[in-house]
């Protein structure tokens, strides 16, 4: 018989070992419990067959410390020509941040 009291843990898609969470045209990359997360936002898309593909993306590295003033939350920012390049830079930023701690 199944133990009903056990909590189900939701598994997220991951990139380089960190979770990817999508909300509409925005993807959050990283664990909210870490020092930083990266916000990837699609600004422009084009149709490829029947799928919308991002062609212009903004990338922002955000400090998750709630004591950091709102004006200093965005640590790095970049614009990329597609989701692949955005994830590539986001992964590099997160790896560097992990080695600098």
pLDDT 10s digits, 20-75: 999 999 999 999 999 999 999 999 999 999 988 899 999 999 999 999 999 999 99
By three-state DSSP, how is residue 71 classified?
A: helix
How many CB atoms sit inside 10 A of residue 38's CB?
25
Q: What's the rounded mean pLDDT across residues 91-96?
A: 94
Judge whether residue 11 has pLDDT over 50: yes
Residue 9 lies in a domain: no
Residue 7 lies in a domain: no
Q: What's the rounded mean pLDDT across residues 3-28?
A: 78
Residue 83 lies in a domain: yes
How many CB atoms sit inside 10 A of residue 75's CB?
15
Look up the domain containing 39 and give its range: 14-99
Judge whether residue 95 has pLDDT over 60: yes
pLDDT on residue 9: 60
Number of domains in the chain: 1
Walk across the sheet containing 36-48 and list its strands: 13-15, 18-23, 26-29, 36-48, 51-63, 74-80
Structural contact between residues 20 and 29, judged by C-beta atoms closer than 8 angstroms? yes
pLDDT on residue 99: 87
User: Is the four-CA dihedral 32, 40, 27, 93 of positive or negative sign?
Assistant: negative
Residue 31 lies in a domain: yes
Structural contact between residues 40 and 27, judged by C-beta atoms closer than 8 angstroms? yes
Residue 2 lies in a domain: no
Judge whether residue 6 has pLDDT over 70: no
Residue 4 lies in a domain: no
Residue 59 lies in a domain: yes
pTM of the model: 0.83
Residue 40 lies in a domain: yes
pLDDT on residue 2: 47
How many CB atoms sit inside 10 A of residue 83's CB?
16
């Amino acid at each position: 018989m199944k133990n009903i009291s056990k909590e189900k843990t939701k598994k997220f898609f991951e990139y380089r070992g960190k979770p990817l969470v999508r909300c509409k045209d925005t993807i959050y990359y990283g664990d909210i419990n870490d020092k930083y997360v990266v916000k990837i936002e699609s600004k422009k898309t084009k149709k490829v067959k029947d799928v919308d593909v991002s062609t212009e993306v903004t990338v922002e590295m955000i400090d998750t410390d709630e004591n950091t003033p709102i004006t200093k939350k965005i640590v790095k920012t970049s614009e990329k020509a597609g989701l692949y390049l955005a994830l590539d830079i986001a992964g590099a930023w997160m790896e560097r941040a992990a080695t600098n701690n």
